[in-house]
Amino acid sequence: MIPPSFIQDLLSRVDIVEVIGRHVSLRKGGANLMGLCPFHGEKSPSFSVSPSKQFYYCFGCGASGNAIGFLTEYLGLGFVEAVQELAQQAGLSVPQEERSPQDRERAQAERQRQIGLSEALARAAEHYRRQLKASPRAIDYLKGRGLTGEIAARFGIGFAPAGWRSLAGVFAHYDDPKLEEAGLVIRHEPEAGETGDGKRYDRFRDRVMFPIRSVQGEVIGFGGRVLDQGEPKYLNSPETPVFSKGRELYGLYEARTAIRQRGHVLVVEGYMDVVALAQSGFGHAVATLGTACTAEHVQKLFRFTDSVVFSFDGDAAGRRAAGRALEAALPHLSDTRSVRFLFLPPEHDPDSYVRALGAEAFERCVEAAVPLSRQLLEQARDGIDMGPAEGRARFLAQARPLWSALPDGALKRQLLREIAGAGGLEAAELAELWQGQPARGPRAGTAGRAAGADDGGPGARPGRGRADRGAMARPMARRAPSSPADHAVRLLLLHSAWWDALSPDDQALLHALPPPHGAVIGWLERLLTNQGPLSWAALEQALAADRESLPDWPPMPATALEDETRFEDLRRVLDGLWVERLADEQRRLIERAAVDPQALQRWREVTRQREALLKALQPVAGG
């Protein structure tokens, strides 16, 4: 847990104008600075940054916040990551109250190690860019693919020469272990009888190089494509301490602004697809890195937009890839998020389609992309003859694990009716059938099961999953939460997406709650930072796995799962906690007033704040 006092100190030390000015062009406009909003498309500036209030606000789309909020929204960082980023800029070390000095020392050493790898990768990227300018053959290849120098520079495209040790001219110590650890150099193990520690040579040779950047803009890896014939056609950096293919997306750093302007992100399968689409005006495209779409990819994309369009080839491999993407996306959907699927003709990928038929034709394909609800039905009925009863029964069996992976909400309930209709049943009949049978999750190892998807059946309440089936068989006694703090934490566990909607002051208030509530809040924030909003089923599994670190937190009562709640309910609970907090402060200020004249003035301010909150709470409390 990061102490709230450190957050306040950090925000007082950083200049929001400087933080935002690194990403947005700002000009003086009266007392504030103005610029084009980075969160939506506009032609005249409506984005205002206040140096005095250290706050930004867009009059067009309503985006607002402090320096931490800007980094979380614009760069897609988690709260802790944003704090660490600002602290580094301010020359501060982030205190970690729950970590021992040994843990902090290890974390610092790991951070220095990652910085060293990032610096090595950045130097290599600059070397590859210089080599591209000196290689007519590589330049001709890119021109043949329809790319301009401007788009190549935007994506930092380079060229790795054919020599075995071209990086030896870049790094003074070619035998530095971090070059191997960063995936730039390969060490050949010595054979029996050979002396030394083996031969070293460049991993990437005679390839067009696509640097892979993190959302902060740091080079974390490379993808290299052969110019002529050769295998593999694409060679990626290996897994390293700064690069994981299952978490990163090519082109996301370059696409952030376009994604917000377009209102959706386009996910394709290759580096060249991303670059070629950007060349044709589709700057909001990103690509997976030679691996299937994962749940972590989906979570990262939903930090930037509520709408994702997956583009796949129309062949069998593309259909299989779409199936994996659908399963990865299902647990992270909500009634305000959408996922669609675009299938191109088998002879085309996005790059060739745009070059052959033009940008307008591709735009029409995007507009006609298949909604996830329809794709789920298509995937469930794939290869099935829906005529006989046996075929419809098999369809229902294949549809159930996909449907169960969806979080509870309007989409899930509407899909139940569509699945039932396609299977020849009434929705009530299917609900009764599925409620009486245990659901099998998606295929072993798929994202739906890994994410702890909700499969408690159509009769389950929001978030009720596998671990709750015992509770369904043995109903727990209904009881009200024992305290406002208890109620607040339980609401956030049931609706983890609400955490990001809270102000830093509200979050600090929750962190400061006494045990076990404050500890659970710290645990929840760390989990959300790493994985994004999760369903209650997934959180319950994580709580069970982490029970040793939270021994005093009791299981969730049945009443918490059955109550229909809104964000306004959480807001009222928090206001009640603020009333208690301000009352405590009033008592302390009265004690200090005898020796501190300023304490009385502060007591008056606190009293006004508390009375305003009580007045706001009174109508509902009295009714």
pLDDT digits (tens, 9 = 90+) for 399-427: 999 998 888 888 999 999 999 999 999 99
Cα-based angle 476, 479, 482 (whole degrees, multiple of 5)? 130
DSSP SS3 for 75? coil
Asked if the domains 103-188+198-236 and 484-622 are classified in one and the same CATH topology, the answer is no
Residue pair 535/465 in contact (Cβ under 8 Å)? The answer is: yes
Judged by phi (left if over 0) then psi (alpha if -120 to 50, else beta), residue 133 lies in alpha
**Of 393, 411, 400, nearest in space to 377 by CA:** 400
pLDDT of 450 reads 34
Name which CATH class applies to 103-188+198-236.
alpha beta
Q: How far apart are alpha carbons 81 and 293 in whole angstroms? A: 23
Place 501 in a pLDDT band, splitting at 50, 70 and 90. Answer: confident
Report the topology of domain 4-90: DNA Primase; Chain A (3.90.580)
**Per-residue pLDDT at 522 exceeds 90:** no
Name which CATH class applies to 484-622.
mainly alpha
Amino acid at 418: E
pLDDT of 438 reads 47
Helix (H) or strand (E) segment spanning residue 415: helix 410-422
pLDDT of 449 reads 32
What are the two backbone dihedrals, phi and then psi, of residue 56, each rounded to the nearest 5 degrees? Answer: -120, 150
pTM of the predicted model, to two decimals?
0.62
Higher pLDDT, 591 or 339: 339
| Cβ neighbours for 136, distance < 8 A, ≥ 6 positions apart | none
Report the topology of domain 252-368: Dna Topoisomerase Vi A Subunit; Chain: A, domain 2 (3.40.1360)
**Least confidently predicted of 275-279, 291-295, 477-481, 585-589:** 477-481
Q: How far apart are alpha carbons 457 and 435 in whole angstroms? A: 5
pLDDT of 195 reads 55
Q: How far apart are alpha carbons 527 and 546 in whole angstroms? A: 11
**Least confidently predicted of 304-318, 427-441, 539-553, 554-568:** 554-568
CA dist list (Å): 416 to 81, 218, 403: 39, 44, 8
Report the topology of domain 371-443: Pheromone ER-1 (1.20.50)
Mean pLDDT calculated for residue range 99-104: 69
Q: How far apart are alpha carbons 621 and 435 in whole angstroms? A: 38
Q: Classify strands 307-313 and 338-344 as parallel, antiparallel or unpaired.
A: parallel
**Least confidently predicted of 18-22, 307-311, 417-421, 555-559:** 555-559
Residue pair 344/313 in contact (Cβ under 8 Å)? The answer is: yes
DSSP SS3 for 574? helix
**Per-residue pLDDT at 453 exceeds 60:** no
**Least confidently predicted of 82-96, 276-290, 555-569, 592-606:** 555-569
Mean pLDDT calculated for residue range 81-100: 78
The strand ranges marked E within 204-358 are 207-213, 219-226, 234-236, 265-268, 285-287, 307-313, 338-344
For the chain, helix (H) and strand (E) counts, in that order, are 27, 16
In the chain, where are the structural domains located? 4-90, 103-188+198-236, 252-368, 371-443, 484-622
Q: How far apart are alpha carbons 135 and 520 in whole angstroms? A: 57
